[in-house]
Amino acid sequence: SYAVFFQIPLLPEAVLGARRSALLARALRTSSRAGAFEEEEIAEYRQAWERPGALTNMLNWYRALRFRPSLKERITTPTLVIWGMQDQALESGLAKRSLALCDDGRLQTFEKGTHWVQREESNAVNAALLAFLEG
């Protein structure tokens, strides 16, 4: 439903930008494990979100979804999909559906990882990336 809301011109930018992007800051805190984002880092995110056009550019990813082409081509490049199994934004079936488009795909899941698995499990994610790139 939030992706549909993002299709409305200007209103999502106003809502997400209100009170120094309080809703976005709360989303970072509530969709991640405790301690994934320090307050100083959230302040940096807020500063980035306040740049002219930043929120529109972020929302344009969602707005472009309705124009996505059908995927007729296979992904032939070796691909590693990293997935946090506690992700509140994306259901885990999307990882398997993504792999189905790959000729040479591998899935690395993190049981306790959320949408922000690269922050919460940084050492394990980096190790998985290095192993994949070296392999």
Q: What are phi and psi of 75, to 5 degrees?
A: -90, 110
pTM assigned to the model: 0.83
**Average per-residue pLDDT in the chain?**
94
51-77 pLDDT, tens digit per residue, is 999 999 999 989 998 887 777 789 999
Is the model's pLDDT at 101 over the cut of 90? yes
